[in-house]
Structure 1
Amino acid sequence: MTLTSERSLDVGPGRRWAMLGASTLAQASTAVMAHGPAFLIPALVQQEGLSLARAGLVAAAPTLGVMLTLVAWGLLTDRRGERLVLLSGLLLTSVAGLAAVLAPGVAWLTVALFLGGASAASSSAASGRVVVGWFPPRRRGLAMGIRQMSQPVGVGVAAISIAVVADAHGIHVAMWVPTIATALATVLVLVVVIDPPRPDPREQPSANPYRGNTFLARIHGVSVLLVVPQFVVWTFALVWLVQDRGWSPGAAGALVALAQVGGALGRIAAGQLSDVVGSRMRPLRWVATAAALTMAALGGAAGLDWAVAVPLIILATVVTVADNGLAFTAVAERAGPHWSGRALGIQNTSQFLTSALVPPLGGLAVTHGGYPATFALAALFPLVAIALVPVDQEPALS
Structure 2
Amino acid sequence: MSRKPHYAWFVLTAAWLAFMGVGLIRFVYPYVVPAMEETLGISHAVMGTIISGFFWADTVMRIVWGMLSDRFGTRLTTLLGLALLSVGFFIMSFATGIFSLVIGFIVCGVGAAALFIMPSPLLSRWFGQSRRSTAIGIVTTAATLVTIVAGFIVPVVLTNNPYNAIWRTEAIFVLVILAVNFFVLADSPAEKGLTPYGASIEELDAIKVNSKGNVWARDRILRVLKDGAFYQIAGSYFVYGVAYTGVLTFLVGYFVEVGWTAGAASHLVALFGMAGLIGALVWGVVGDRLAKRHVFGMTLGMQGLGILVLVLAGQTPAMAYLGVILFGLGGSGPVVMIAAIQADYFDRSTIGTSFGLCAACFSIASAVSPIIGGVLADSTGTLRSALLMGLVGSLIGAVLISLLREPRTVKAVPKSR
> Fold-level match, TM-score > 0.5?
yes
Provide the C-alpha distance between the structure 2 equivalents of 1:235 and 1:167, rounded to a whole number of angstroms.
25
Whether contact under 8 Å (1:89, 1:122) holds in the other structure is yes
Per-residue CA distance 1:175-228 (angstroms, 9 max, x = gap): 113202211110111121111146534177772342553112101111111222
Provide the C-alpha distance between the structure 1 equivalents of 2:225 and 2:95, rounded to a whole number of angstroms.
46
Per-residue CA distance 1:94-113 (angstroms, 9 max, x = gap): 22322332334332122122
Within 5 Å, give how 1:1-398 maps onto structure 2. Answer: 13-196=5-188, 197=190, 199-202=210-213, 207-208=220-221, 209-247=223-261, 249-277=262-290, 279-302=291-314, 306-310=316-320, 311-369=322-380, 370-389=382-401, 390-395=403-408, 397-398=411-412
Greater alpha carbon shift after TM alignment, 378-387 vs 341-350: 378-387
**Superposed displacement of residue 306, structure 1:** 4.6
Provide the C-alpha distance between the structure 1 equivalents of 2:157 and 2:344, rounded to a whole number of angstroms.
41
Whether contact under 8 Å (2:299, 2:333) holds in the other structure is yes
Provide the C-alpha distance between the structure 1 equivalents of 2:151 and 2:53, rounded to a whole number of angstroms.
18
AA at the equivalent of 1:220? A
Which 5+ residue runs of structure 1 have no aligned equivalent?
1-10
Provide the C-alpha distance between the structure 1 equivalents of 2:365 and 2:18, rounded to a whole number of angstroms.
24
Per-residue CA distance 1:211-249 (angstroms, 9 max, x = gap): 5531121011111112222223322222222231332x2
Report the RMSD for the aligned CA atoms in angstroms.
Answer: 2.5
Report the secondary structure of 2:28's partner residue. helix
Per-residue CA distance 1:227-285 (angstroms, 9 max, x = gap): 222223322222222231332x22321221122111121122112112122x1011112
Whether contact under 8 Å (1:62, 1:115) holds in the other structure is yes
Provide the C-alpha distance between the structure 2 equivalents of 1:55 and 1:376, rounded to a whole number of angstroms.
28
**Structure 2 residue aligned with 1:7:** none
Percent of aligned pairs sharing the same letter: 21
Provide the C-alpha distance between the structure 2 equivalents of 1:343 and 1:213, rounded to a whole number of angstroms.
11
Query: For residues 13 and 133 of structure 1, do their structure 2 counterparts lie closer, same or farther at Cα, with a shift above 3 Å needed?
Result: farther
Report the secondary structure of 2:220's partner residue. coil
Provide the C-alpha distance between the structure 1 equivalents of 2:220 and 2:23, rounded to a whole number of angstroms.
32
Provide the C-alpha distance between the structure 2 equivalents of 1:95 and 1:350, rounded to a whole number of angstroms.
26
The 4+ residue runs of structure 1 with deviation greater than 6 A are: 203-206
Report the secondary structure of 1:96's partner residue. helix
Query: For residues 110 and 171 of structure 1, do their structure 2 counterparts lie closer, same or farther at Cα, with a shift above 3 Å needed?
Result: farther
Q: Scaled by the length of structure 2, what TM-score is found?
A: 0.84
Q: Scaled by the length of structure 1, what TM-score is found?
A: 0.88
Whether contact under 8 Å (2:240, 2:362) holds in the other structure is no
Whether contact under 8 Å (1:71, 1:349) holds in the other structure is yes
Provide the C-alpha distance between the structure 2 equivalents of 1:179 and 1:234, rounded to a whole number of angstroms.
27
Length, aligned pairs only? 384
